[in-house]
Chains A and B, each alone.
Chain A
Amino acid sequence: MDVQITDLSLARGGVPVLAGVTMSLPAGQAVILRGPNGAGKTTLLRAIAGLQPALSGRITGAEDRIAYAAHADGVKSMLTVRENLTFWADVFGAGGIDAAIEAYALAPLADRLAATLSAGQKRRLGLARLLVTGRPVWVLDEPTVSLDTGAVAMFADAVRAHLAQGGSALIATHIDLGLEAEVFDLTPFKATATTQAGATDEAFL
């Protein structure tokens, strides 16, 4: 099943940022999301993940199929790498964490507290979480921040393996991952002054 986005308009902090976004994310494919800072990449990804409502338009095929990775990794610093991964595997009910540990070469770090990891190692742990969710659609916001070239290659391999299994990925990034992926530029969808902000209740929330 594909994720289909139709004529989507989104606001951030009460200000419309995107209007009329129409795109599809077919199974087995990756789409790279591009656009200058503030173009609305994060807003779009959060809407697809179901964290914020749309002003108008529809998102179909995303419900309960998304594994979302944001700027923050959701890593608990007082738990070990293994405990962190096991927790997410249990929450998503997907089981084994061994494949995830292997894919991101976390075995030497498995029993260390996450507080003692470097920024790049923490990010690798955050990305390994995607593998234990068992969800088919990955929605990733700048996944390669603070990764070295070796880790970026690990990430690209993980995405390729995920696509080969029929999964899909929507990745907002500024660097070239070496993936065979369609590029979707958000710049043309910038909201204009005429974009309907809808009847806003922001003042009361």
Chain B
Amino acid sequence: MKALLLRDLRLALRAGGGFGLALAFFLIVIVLVPFAIGPDPELLRAVAPGVLWLGALLACLLSLDRLLALDFEDGTLELLATAPLPLEGALTIKALAHWLTTGLPLVIVSSVLGVMLGLPSAGYLWVVVSLGLGTPALSVIGTFGAALTVGVKRGGLLMSLLVLPLYVPTLIFGAEAARRGALGLDATTPLLMLAGITCGVVACMPFASAAVLRMGLR
């Protein structure tokens, strides 16, 4: 398992690994939002938590395409399926590697990019905490979507359509927690819901992902 994690991290960091893709996309979205909706600080402050969450979610979605497709193309997935490592474990590790190379950097830069949107100082902590709790769920659900469309040529569109509805609960509670935090309200309830979604998804989703992947490899 450790070998697979290290390999995925190493591949992500090498040329063509797509490490910076999600990060750059997130950066572009957040930088462009003030240009698009105008320089009104009140307005920006109101939408900041939601825009940060939306940007992170779409950046995550953008990078899912490569999660399993590259391993499928060069035959690695078939060989992994015949390896002693259970497929459920392998997919959990791949989701973890995806989170470490996509979700975690987004969480870190979101704390800085809040400045661009005039996020109130009380909100920074909550944006980072809610993204930190929510992005693992995005990676795990995304792995399921990638597993579901693994044999489909140019499956990116199909995968986005399948994954987006599954992302909605995470987005609602994550953005709500960040919004309440930014307004100085109590954010405990949405944060607990968000943490619950993440825990449930991390516990159950790998089994579904492995099952659909086995079917996809047939």
A contact face: mostly helix, strand, loop, or mixed: loop
Q: List 25 A-B contacts (CB under 8 A).
A: A50-B81, A50-B82, A51-B78, A51-B217, A68-B78, A70-B79, A71-B75, A72-B73, A74-B76, A74-B78, A74-B79, A76-B7, A76-B74, A78-B11, A78-B15, A79-B7, A79-B11, A79-B14, A87-B3, A88-B79, A88-B83, A91-B4, A91-B83, A91-B85, A205-B215
- Residue in A66, A72, A75, A86 whose CB lies within 8 Å of B82: A66
Further contacts, 14 of them, CB under 8 A, given A51-B218, A77-B74: A52-B217, A68-B82, A72-B75, A74-B74, A74-B78, A74-B79, A75-B74, A78-B14, A86-B3, A87-B4, A91-B83, A91-B84, A92-B83, A129-B79
Bound: A90/B3 CA distance, A: 6
Bound: A74/B70 CA distance, A: 10
| B residues less than 8 Å from A67 (CB atoms) | 82
Q: Flag A151-162 by CB within 8 Å of B: 1 or 0 each.
A: 000000000000
| A residues less than 8 Å from B153 (CB atoms) | none
Q: How far is the CB of A113 from chain B (nearest CB, A)?
A: 9
Tell me whether A93 is interfacial, beta carbon within 8 Å: yes
| A residues less than 8 Å from B14 (CB atoms) | 78-79
| Number of residues on chain A facing chain B (CB within 8 A) | 29
B contact face: mostly helix, strand, loop, or mixed: helix
Task: Across the interface, name the chain B residue whose C-beta is closest to A52.
Answer: B218
Q: How far is the CB of A70 from chain B (nearest CB, A)?
A: 6
Q: How far is the CB of A65 from chain B (nearest CB, A)?
A: 10
Considering only residues 179-204 of chain A, those with a C-beta below 8 Å from chain B are none
| A residues less than 8 Å from B11 (CB atoms) | 76, 78-79
